Amino acid sequence: MLGFLRSSFRRPAALVLAVFVLASFASVSWAQTPDQINAALKAALEKYKGLKEGANADYIPALAKVDSAIYGIALVTTDGKVYTAGDVKSEVSIQSISKVFTMALVMEEQGVEAIEKNMGVDATGQVFNSIVAVEQYKGAEMNPLVNPGAITATSMVSGKDRAEIWNKILAWHGAFAGRTLTVNQEVFKSEAETNQRNQAISMLMYAYGHIKDNPLQATDIYTEQCSISVNAKDLATMAATLANGGKNPATGKQVMKSENVPEVLAVMATAGLYDDSGKWLYATGLPAKSGVGGGIIAVSPGKFGIAVISPPLDKAGNSVRAQKAIAEISTVLHGNPYEARPK
Ligand code: GLU
C-alpha cells in the first residue's frame, strides 16, 4: 500500500482514487452522507407536519399557552455537524429532560454509585410523579428520571447556598448546549405556584432520608431547572455531547467524564419516556428523554444526538410528533445501537 501511495504521487488520478478508498474505509462504521441526513430530517418534518394528535400539557398552566404548531428537528453528529429542519428558533421549557443532566452532575461530583445507592436505577412501573412509588420501597428502588428521584438528585448538587447550587446547574446545562441558557420566568412562576405535589414528594423523600436537608429548596431549584428555555438545536447538542463521550462536539469542551456516560444512557434507556420507555426502546434502541414541554432528546452513541420539539403530547406524556420523527430518522440513518451486521 505504501509503495502504491508513493508511486501515485507521480500519478494524480491514482492518488485521488487512493484517498477516496481510504476515506470510505475510515467512515465505514457510520457512512451517512450529509445529503442522506438532510433528506431524512426533511422527510420526517413533512410527513408529520399535518398530524393533529395529542395536546399540550396543561397541569402547569403556562404550558397550555405554548404554540402547539412549533415543530423543529435538529441532529448533531459526534464530529460536530449540525443538521436542522423546521422551526429550530422557537424555545420551550426543557422540563424533565433536565433530569438527565442534573443526574450527570451528581455523578460527576460524587460518582455513579451515589445515584444507585440513594434513589436507585430501576423503573417504577408508576407515573413520573407517583407517591405510591415512593411508598413502595421508602424512596429507594426508583431512578433520577422520575420526580422523587429527580428532586433528590437536585438536592445532592453541592453548593453553599441556593444561588451557588442554581448557578452551577444552569451553567452545567449551558455547557452541554454550548451556549448560555436562560430561564422562562413565566413557566417557572406558573409551576412554582402549582407544584404542591412535588413539594409533598420532596418532603417524603426527606422523611425517608434520601434528601438530607432543605427539601423545599430542592423542589424550588428543580422547578427552576425544568423552566430552562431551549430550542431543538440546544437539545440536539446536549444529546450529541452524550453521544460523544461527554465532549461537546460543537465547542470541543469535555463537559463530563466519559466514564460516567454509559450509566447516564442506561438510566435514559430504562426510564426516559415515562410509562412507554419499554415500547420506545423496543422500537428504536435509543436512550432518550422526553419532557412535558414537548421536547425529546435521543442519543445514538458514537454517532449523533437528535432532538425534536413539538408540544402536543400523547397520554403517556411524550410528544407525538417527536417520537415519530426521531424513530423514523434513526431507522433511516441506522442509529439503533443494537443493530449489528454479522462479520
Ligand atoms: N416540571 C415538571 C414536573 O415536575 C416536569 C415533568 C416532566 O417533564 O415530565 O411536573
For residue 232, what are the CA distances in angstroms to 15, 59, 83, 152, 219? Answer: 41, 23, 11, 27, 26
310 class by beta-carbon count within 10 Å (0-12 exposed, 13-18 middle, 19+ buried): buried
* Ligand 1 centre distance from Cα of residue 291 (Å): 7
Question: What are the grid coordinates assigned to 212, written together?
Answer: 438530607
**What is the chain's pLDDT, residue by residue, as a tens digit (343 residues)?**
344 444 444 454 554 444 444 444 444 457 899 999 999 999 999 999 999 999 999 999 999 999 999 999 999 999 999 999 999 999 999 999 999 999 999 999 999 999 999 999 999 989 999 999 999 999 999 999 999 999 999 999 999 999 999 999 999 999 999 999 999 999 999 999 999 999 999 999 999 999 999 999 999 999 999 999 999 999 999 999 999 999 999 999 999 999 999 999 999 999 999 999 999 999 999 999 999 999 999 999 999 999 999 999 999 999 999 999 999 999 999 999 999 989 9
Indicate which atom in ligand 1 lies nearest the CA of residue 128. 9
224 lines ligand 1 (CB under 6 A): no
Give alpha helix (H) positions in 69-209. Answer: 97-110, 112-118, 132-136, 147-156, 162-177, 185-194, 196-207
292 lines ligand 1 (CB under 6 A): yes
How much is the CA Rg of the chain, to the nearest whole Å? Answer: 21
* Ligand 1 centre distance from Cα of residue 318 (Å): 11
Residue with cell 428537528: 73
226 lines ligand 1 (CB under 6 A): yes
Give the pLDDT confidence score for residue 124 in this predicted structure.
Answer: 93
291 lines ligand 1 (CB under 6 A): yes
Give the pLDDT confidence score for residue 13 in this predicted structure.
Answer: 52
| Atom 2 (ligand 1) nearest CA | 95
Distance of CA 217 to the CA centre of its chain: 24
Helices and strands (H and E) in the chain: how many: 16, 7
148 lines ligand 1 (CB under 6 A): no
Indicate which atom in ligand 1 lies nearest the CA of residue 274. 9
CATH superfamily membership of 2-333: DD-peptidase/beta-lactamase superfamily (3.40.710.10)
* Ligand 1 centre distance from Cα of residue 228 (Å): 12
Give the pLDDT confidence score for residue 102 in this predicted structure.
Answer: 98
The span from the first CA to the last CA of the chain, in angstroms, equals: 24
Residue whose C-alpha is closest to residue 219's, from 184, 194, 238 = 194
Indicate which atom in ligand 1 lies nearest the CA of residue 227. 1
* Ligand 1 centre distance from Cα of residue 223 (Å): 8
* Ligand 1 centre distance from Cα of residue 330 (Å): 26
Contact indicator for 232, 74 with CB cutoff of 8 Å: yes
* Ligand 1 centre distance from Cα of residue 95 (Å): 5
For residue 119, what are the CA distances in angstroms to 126, 139, 281? Answer: 15, 6, 22
Domain ranges of the chain: 2-333
Indicate which atom in ligand 1 lies nearest the CA of residue 150. 4
Contact indicator for 321, 312 with CB cutoff of 8 Å: yes
* Ligand 1 centre distance from Cα of residue 122 (Å): 19
Question: What are the grid coordinates assigned to 214, written together?
Answer: 432543605
322 class by beta-carbon count within 10 Å (0-12 exposed, 13-18 middle, 19+ buried): buried
Give the pLDDT confidence score for residue 31 in this predicted structure.
Answer: 83
